[in-house]
Structure 1
Amino acid sequence: MEAVTTAWERYAAGRTPRRTHNAAGATTWLNWTQYADHGPDESVIGKVQGRRVLELGCGTGCNLAHLSTLGAVCVGIDIAPTQCEKAEARWGHLPGLSFWTAEATEFLAAHPDSFDVVLSIFGPVWFTNPMTLLPLVRQSLTAGGAFVFSHKPPQPDPQPGEPLREARAVSRWDYSPGEWTALLASARFKKITAETIDPPDGKHEGTLVVRAEA
């Protein structure tokens, strides 16, 4: 686990902070894709106000900050301590928003039936064995709660569970929409949708967005 934490700390050190305003002039927004000002917004989740939201791999907290301004009670966890420090420094003044340094499966196991929404945006769902993770997410959700995540579509070379070339301590589970649908169904999720969002003009790689309910 120490090697994994070190890998994500190294990744965090090289990340550029999110802009203070997006193209529409907003100071907070939710971004599901790898491209700025592109893709769906929080409507993918459904109702936000008053719901308890957990983000796995919250990074610097920008997505959760937006949901907090819409009235959600938000918890963000990240395995990299410096990410949580940055999130707290930038967004700690917002009500109903907290950040914790934690590994996803350990945190989920300790918080059954605690959240109405669980998110992972290019986060631990992509980097954790789904046979371990998905039942824990299902357990953490209230009845009818939403599980929504995104990552890049599967690549032709890596196999599920194969270590990333850029960080040998970290493995990535690349699955297609159909494979995720089957995995989620086996973990007792329902109302499953999985689609690839087309990239903006001039780009070639889309974004896989998956939604399911407990």
Structure 2
Amino acid sequence: MSDYDAVAEAYDLDNEKSLQNAYYERPATLALAGDVAGRRILDAGCGAGPLFAALRDRGAVVSGIDVSTGMVERARLRLGAAADVRVADIAGPLPFADEEFDDVVASLVLHYLEDWGPALTEFRRVLRTGGRLIASVNHPTAEYIIERMQGRRPDYFAVYSQAGEWPVGDQMVKVTFWNRPLHAMTDAFTAAGFRITRISEPPPAPEARELFPEDYHLLATAPSFLFFVLEAA
């Protein structure tokens, strides 16, 4: 059972309106995806389906997977019974044929994995040659800066886990992220058969300035996420 199962509804509602998701990560990912009309896209780690819905609204043919049964149930409520949404782990074999997709979108999921290799290998397998992997992850400097501000000196070059709890509605969800330096990310991408075509550190959406005046300044001056566009070589 995923820790997200118990908070799927509350997380979905928060994701719809939060600064980090609705006005920062999701708009940035959609901007990097560009014109997706007619493209076959895998939303890997689709959660409750907001990115799936946005891509579908732009004309893409989308499939989604998530390890959380609760999140997949929320996605089916959002997207309809005919939507191709499945329970599957991005770290395991994917239930799709070779070269089935034009794009894979991995939105804030890779940093849950200690080893990116198996997931990236599967993403490359299900992508056609020349297809794209669009990925967002925790920015490699974000936790480093926080710890330095708190008087600690972490090892930026280490790959290490960080456990914590997030408030979601009136509940808490336990999370474990794996922090890694930028070169470890890029090495993993190239080892799996990808060519890096773009690295992006975008600001939040402009409308967030009025909606979240204090937090907007923080994100506009110190990014939380790092975005990649990669080509399947």
TM-score (norm. length: structure 1): 0.77
SS at match of 2:136: strand
Where 2:102 maps in the other structure, the secondary structure is strand
Report the equivalent of 1:92: 80
How many equivalent residue pairs?
A: 197
Structure with the largest fraction of helix: 2
| Unpaired runs of at least 5, structure 1 | 23-30
Instruction: Give the secondary-structure state (helix, strand or coil) at the position aligned to 1:60.
Output: coil
Aligned amino acid, residue 188 of structure 1: G
Contact kept, 8 Å, 1:18 with 1:62, in 2: the verdict is: no
1:192 paired to 2:177? no
Q: Which amino acid aligns with 2:127?
A: L
CA spacing shift, 1:161–1:136, aligned 2, 3 Å: farther
Match of residue 43 from structure 2: 55
Q: For 1:100-129, what per-residue CA distance to the aligned partner results, in whole angstroms no more than 9, with x for missing partners?
A: 111113342653221111111112x22122
1:66 to 1:102, Cα distance in 2 relative to 1, 3 A: same
Deviations 1:16-68 (A, max 9, x none): 51687x8xxxxxxxx9x825334535231244111111111111111111111
Percent of aligned positions that are identical: 24
The whole-number CA distance in structure 2 between the counterparts of 1:35 and 1:173 is: 20
Q: Residues 19 and 147 of structure 1: is their aligned pair in 2 closer, same or farther, counting only changes over 3 Å?
A: closer
Partner of 1:120: 106
Structure 1 pair 161–131 and aligned structure 2 pair: CA distance change class (3 A): farther
Root mean square deviation, CA, Å: 3.1
Determine which structure has greater relative contact order: mean sequence separation of CA pairs < 8 Å that are 6+ residues apart, divided by chain length. Answer: 2
In the alignment, what sits opposite 1:203? Answer: 218
Mark the CA change 1:48 to 1:152 in structure 2 (over 3 Å): closer, same or farther.
Answer: same
Alignment match, 2:64: 76
Counterparts in 2 of 1:145 and 1:152: CA distance versus 1, 3 Å: same
- Does structure 1 conserve the Cα–Cα contact (< 8 Å) formed by 2:45 and 2:107? yes
Q: Tell me the alpha carbon deviations over residues 117-168 of structure 1, each in whole angstroms, 9 at most, x when there is no partner.
A: 1111112x22122122111111110111110111221222595352523399
